[in-house]
Chain A
Amino acid sequence: MKVLPLDKLREALNIMANDAEVYVPMLRDDISGYFQWADNPADELALDLLNTYLSPKNVVIPQTEPMYKFKTSKQDVEITEVQVREGARIIFGIKACDLKALENLDMAFLTMGFEDEYYKARRQDLTIIAQACYKPGPACFCEGMGADRINPAADVLIHELENQDYAWEAKTSRGEELTAKIAALMEERDVTLPQAEPQSRKVDMTGVSEKLAEMFEHPVWDDLSSRCMNCGICTYVCPSCYCFDIQVSNRGEAGNRFRCWDSCMYREYTMMAGGHNPRDYKKERYRNRFLHKLQFFNERYGANLCTGCGRCVILCPNGVNIIEVIEKVKEVKLDA
């Protein structure tokens, strides 16, 4: 099998970065995320991490994304520049949970009769180098959400070997092309792939969406939501939350429109012109997040919108845990 030795990795990333934006797991002070290779000299490559606190969704949906610039004069508006960002992108080391989330984003932005051109521009030339996950952590439950953590579908699949070199398998023609560019750095070797350790957190989603459809008014939401403080951590670190808001900033006659992440946990998210808010209380906002993750998305696209990455479970400051929510939902007895 082809092997990319660890000490050749930086060189490989440099070569890739010649004609593409390359996103790699890195540490910025205490925070880990998929940051652009060689973008900020303070970022350190962080390949020993199981995954990153910030999800890789910024590659296709940056937190703040410029849309277009305009100029006004009296009643007229002229669009002076459309800021669609096409170009080659590579994501290195993405795990099965986040890859599944990317599939979710594809469904939301590219199917059902509408293609979002900003998303499409970032997505269409994205090469995915996924890393098989042999040693899951205590918060991971991607298997319960249907991910294949050893064999996720990608352009290239890499396996971290015992000596930390990467066994390298090109899976698509796009993957072959990329591999050809760094072929000189690779070695051909007999390798033993690691043994997969079991995932300790189990989730069984059988019947959960269907049951949730009957539970909109159930009092369990009061109890479950009581600990939540409606911040945006869970939705912002989630690899598959995709809500955004369209905003404008202008100075005099010139302005630019941009979009930025938004969260259904915020009161302002559902604030109507005129002051009515259909989700005025935290129970309603909390319920929406879980219903979107576990019911609405399933109804529309036939997939869970949670992919079991565990980030919200690790980072929620008030101990909200989506696995416990699923268990509680199962325990609820519905009146006939």
Chain B
Amino acid sequence: MNDFTNKAREIAKRLLADGTVSVVLGWEKGDEPYASAPTAITELAEVDRLIIDEYCIHEIAALLTDYRDGTDKVAIFAKGCDVRGIIRMIQDRVIPRERLHIIGINCPGMKDPNEYARAASGFGKAPAAEIAAKCQVCQNPNPFIYDEIIGDLQKVEPSNERFASVEEIEKMTPDERYNFFAQELSKCIRCYACRNACVACNCRTCIFDESKPQWVGRSTDTVNNMLYHIIRATHVAGRCVECGECERVCPVGIPLMLLNRKLVKDVDELFGPYQAGLSLEDDAIPPLSRYRVDDPDEFM
């Protein structure tokens, strides 16, 4: 992927030099071979920090909330999943398409730097997968909305695996299900990394940061942890782009995509066919963000 880096620097230099954009969102390298990290470059002299390699897994579109109040143009390097995240941001009116210069990256699948850091650390069990779990089932590695593009189109293996684990949970009895989630969510330390890494969690003031009234208690007990997760999952229902970042960033390994995929599946079955973040057309607005007379209402 070496020439990706060279291309990225060339493009960033051009965009900053000719004033097309005032900031470039991409990745740079830390002090370990696996330590790629998101960055925002604003100076021409700093462009050579940019890299693109096999550890650029982060959903970089989540950083767009930092620019919501400006008028400047933002260049953003975007893998397939990042483009879906960008569509989320545009449809949720965080930032308009006109303020973005999207440089697509046809993505061969990424490794998770955190998995490698954990494996090297000696601090716990080391997950072993080469290519990150979320990339193994990715159906959209190739950006489909962009201003320019890097790399060759990737072949996609069609896969229906993404709902397999949800179906396992659906087969459980209500008690089994409750116990399963109670056990998993009891580990949550309420660091809110799952929310902050999420492109759909782009609200200016999140319900969990409100204190008057306080909707969910701050104590880390099963009830409040469950409330947190149920509310977040329903808030992102129909808007989750399945980038898998919440699950990747969780420091205690909670399988959050089970919750999100259940709602993806429900929205698709009840209001669909629908998948979030695949189109900018008007009719692709998330089903729960619009009203239609023929919306199902049997539950009312």
- Bind each other: yes
Contact A28 B38 (CB under 8 A): no
A260 interface residue (CB < 8 Å to B): yes
Of A245, A315, A321, the contact of B251 (CB 8 Å cutoff): A315
B114 interface residue (CB < 8 Å to A): yes
Contact B123 A30 (CB under 8 A): no
Query: 1/0 contact trace for A1-39 toward B, CB 8 Å?
Result: 000000000000000000000000001111110000000
B197 interface residue (CB < 8 Å to A): yes
| Known contacts A247-B219, A249-B217, A319-B30; is-contact A138 B120 (Cβ 8 Å) | yes
Contact B211 A268 (CB under 8 A): yes
Q: How many residues of A are in contact with the other chain, CB < 8 A?
A: 52
B15 interface residue (CB < 8 Å to A): no
In the complex the two chains form, what is the Cα distance from A258 to B195 in whole Å?
Answer: 24
Contact A233 B193 (CB under 8 A): yes
Shortest CB-to-CB span from B157 to chain A, Å, is 27
Contact A27 B125 (CB under 8 A): yes
Q: Is the interface of B mostly helix, strand, loop or mixed?
A: loop
Contact A314 B187 (CB under 8 A): no
CB-CB contacts below 8 Å: B89-126 with A: 113-114, 117-118, 120-125
Contact A247 B251 (CB under 8 A): no
Contact A268 B209 (CB under 8 A): yes
| Known contacts A137-B123, A319-B35, A321-B35; is-contact A232 B253 (Cβ 8 Å) | no
Shortest CB-to-CB span from B46 to chain A, Å, is 8
In the complex the two chains form, what is the Cα distance from A267 to B252 in whole Å?
Answer: 23
A181 interface residue (CB < 8 Å to B): no
Tally A-B pairs: CB < 8 A. Answer: 146
Contact B189 A28 (CB under 8 A): no
Shortest CB-to-CB span from A332 to chain B, Å, is 14
Of A54, A222, A229, A313, the contact of B117 (CB 8 Å cutoff): A313
In the complex the two chains form, what is the Cα distance from A64 to B220 in whole Å?
Answer: 6
Contact B117 A230 (CB under 8 A): no
Shortest CB-to-CB span from B253 to chain A, Å, is 4
Query: 1/0 contact trace for B267-289 toward A, CB 8 Å?
Result: 00000000000000000000000
Contact A231 B122 (CB under 8 A): no
Contact A236 B35 (CB under 8 A): no
Contact B37 A137 (CB under 8 A): no
B147 interface residue (CB < 8 Å to A): no
CB-CB contacts below 8 Å: A243-290 with B: 245, 247, 249, 258, 260, 263, 266-268, 271, 282
Of B120, B220, B248, the contact of A317 (CB 8 Å cutoff): B248
In the complex the two chains form, what is the Cα distance from A310 to B190 in whole Å?
Answer: 21
Shortest CB-to-CB span from B231 to chain A, Å, is 16
Contact B125 A139 (CB under 8 A): no
Of B35, B63, B187, the contact of A31 (CB 8 Å cutoff): B187
Contact B187 A53 (CB under 8 A): no
Query: 1/0 contact trace for B211-223 toward A, CB 8 Å?
Result: 1000001111100
In the complex the two chains form, what is the Cα distance from A228 to B131 in whole Å?
Answer: 24
B128 interface residue (CB < 8 Å to A): no
A324 interface residue (CB < 8 Å to B): yes
B40 interface residue (CB < 8 Å to A): yes
In the complex the two chains form, what is the Cα distance from A223 to B49 in whole Å?
Answer: 12
Shortest CB-to-CB span from B227 to chain A, Å, is 12
In the complex the two chains form, what is the Cα distance from A137 to B121 in whole Å?
Answer: 6
CB-CB contacts below 8 Å: B162-220 with A: 187, 189-193, 195-197, 209, 211, 217-220
A226 interface residue (CB < 8 Å to B): yes
Contact B122 A50 (CB under 8 A): yes
Contact A249 B219 (CB under 8 A): yes
A323 interface residue (CB < 8 Å to B): yes
A49 interface residue (CB < 8 Å to B): yes
Of A29, A263, A266, A318, the contact of B58 (CB 8 Å cutoff): A318
A51 interface residue (CB < 8 Å to B): yes
B66 interface residue (CB < 8 Å to A): yes
A83 interface residue (CB < 8 Å to B): no
CB-CB contacts below 8 Å: B39-95 with A: 39-40, 42, 46, 58, 62-63, 66
In the complex the two chains form, what is the Cα distance from A318 to B220 in whole Å?
Answer: 24
Contact B196 A260 (CB under 8 A): no
Residues of chain B having any CB pair with chain A under 8 Å? 30-32, 35-40, 42, 46, 58, 62-63, 66, 113-114, 117-118, 120-125, 127, 187, 189-193, 195-197, 209, 211, 217-221, 245, 248-249, 251-253
Ordered by A's residue number, 23 sampled pairs between the chains whose C-beta atoms are within 8 Å are A30-B125, A51-B123, A52-B123, A52-B124, A63-B189, A139-B120, A223-B42, A226-B39, A229-B62, A231-B192, A231-B197, A231-B249, A233-B191, A237-B251, A260-B219, A314-B123, A317-B193, A319-B36, A319-B37, A319-B113, A321-B31, A321-B35, A324-B30
Residues of chain A having any CB pair with chain B under 8 Å? 27-32, 46, 49-54, 63-64, 137-139, 222-223, 226-227, 229-233, 236-237, 245, 247, 249, 258, 260, 263, 266-268, 271, 282, 310-311, 313-315, 317-321, 323-324
Q: A51-B122, A54-B252, A263-B191 are in contact. List 6 more A-B contacts (CB 8 A).
A: A27-B124, A31-B187, A53-B123, A226-B39, A231-B193, A314-B123
For the complex of A and B, list the 7 residue pairs with the smallest distance between their C-beta atoms, beginning with the closest: A319-B37, A50-B122, A231-B193, A226-B40, A317-B249, A232-B191, A30-B253
